[in-house]
Amino acid sequence: MFSYLTSRIIANQKRVLILTHRSELLTQAGGTLASFGLDPIHIKPSYKPKSLKGSLYVAMNQTLVRRFKKPLYTQWLAEGLDVVIVDECHRCDFNTILEALPDHVIVIGVTATPDRVGNQPPLSDFYTDMVEVAQVQELINLNKLARPIAYGVTLDLSGVKTKGNDYDTNDVGNRMDSIKLYHGVYENYMKYTPNQKAIVFASSIASSKTLVESLKEKGLPARHLDGETSTKERRETLEWFKHTPNAILSNMGILTAGFDEATIRVVILYRATKSLSLYLQMVGRGSRTHSGKDSFTYLDFGNNAATHGLWDQNRMWSLEKKKKRKSLGVAPIKECPSCGAYLAAQSKECNYCDHVFPPTKEEEEEAVIAELKLLSYAQVKEAASDASFQELEQLAKAKGYKSGWIFHQLRTKGQLKEYAKYKGYSSKWVNYQLKIRN
Residues 163-214 pLDDT 10s: 888 899 999 999 999 988 989 999 999 999 999 999 999 999 999 999 999 9
DSSP string, 32-48: HHHHTT--PEEE-TT--
The pTM of this model reads: 0.72
- Cα gap 55→281, rounded to integer Å: 31
What digits encode the pLDDT tens for the residues 50-81?
A: 999 999 999 988 889 999 889 999 999 999 99
- Cα→Cα distances 364→329, 355, 360, 396, 430, Å: 17, 19, 6, 20, 36
Please say whether the structural domain 137-323 has been given the CATH code 3.40.50.300: yes
pLDDT tens-digit series, residues 272-312: 999 898 999 999 999 999 999 999 999 999 999 988 999 99
Of residues 84 and 415, the one with the higher pLDDT is 84
CA 44 to chain centroid: 27
Percent of the chain with pLDDT over 90: 48
Beta strands 16-20 and 56-60, pairing class = parallel
CATH number of 2-111: 3.40.50.300
Q: Which DSSP helix (H) or strand (E) runs through 95?
A: helix 95-100
CA angle 87, 90, 92 (to 5 degrees): 100
Q: Side chain identity at 437, as an amino acid letter?
A: R
400 φψ region: left (φ > 0), alpha (ψ -120 to 50), beta (else): left
- The answer for 151, left when phi > 0, alpha when psi is -120 to 50, beta otherwise, is beta
Residues 94 and 3: their CA atoms lie apart, in Å, by 19
Going by C-alpha positions, the residue among 138, 149, 143, 135 that lies closest to residue 351 is 149
Specify which residues 152 forms β-bridges with: 300
| Per-residue pLDDT, 402 | 80
For the four alpha carbons of 272, 274, 280 and 282, in that order, the dihedral sign comes to negative
The answer to whether 167 and 160 are in contact (CB under 8 A) is yes
- Do 167 and 157 contact (CB within 8 A), yes or no? yes
Q: What is the Cα–Cα distance from 229 to 234, expressed in whole angstroms?
A: 6
∠ CA 233-235-238, rounded to 5° = 105
Give the HSE-up count for residue 43: Cα atoms under 13 Å, Cβ half-sphere.
Answer: 28
Helix axes 2-11, 23-35, angle to 10 degrees: 60
Q: Where in the chain is the domain with CATH 3.40.50.300?
A: 2-111, 137-323
Q: With 0-12 CB in 10 A as exposed, 13-18 as middle and 19+ as buried, what is 309?
A: buried
Cα 44 from Cα 26, distance rounded (Å): 10
| 78-132 residue pLDDT tens | 999 999 999 889 888 899 999 999 999 999 999 988 888 778 899 999 999 999 8
User: What percent of the chain clears pLDDT 70, i.e. is strictly above it?
Assistant: 90
Of the given ranges (44-53, 235-244, 370-379), which has the lowest mean pLDDT?
370-379
Q: What pLDDT is recorded for position 257?
A: 73
- The CA radius of gyration of the chain, in Å to the nearest whole number, is 24
pLDDT exceeds cutoff 90 at 339 = no
Cα angle at 190 between 184 and 193, to 5 degrees? 115
CB 369 within 8 A of CB 397: yes
C-alpha torsion angle, residues 24, 25, 31, 35 (rounded to 10): 160
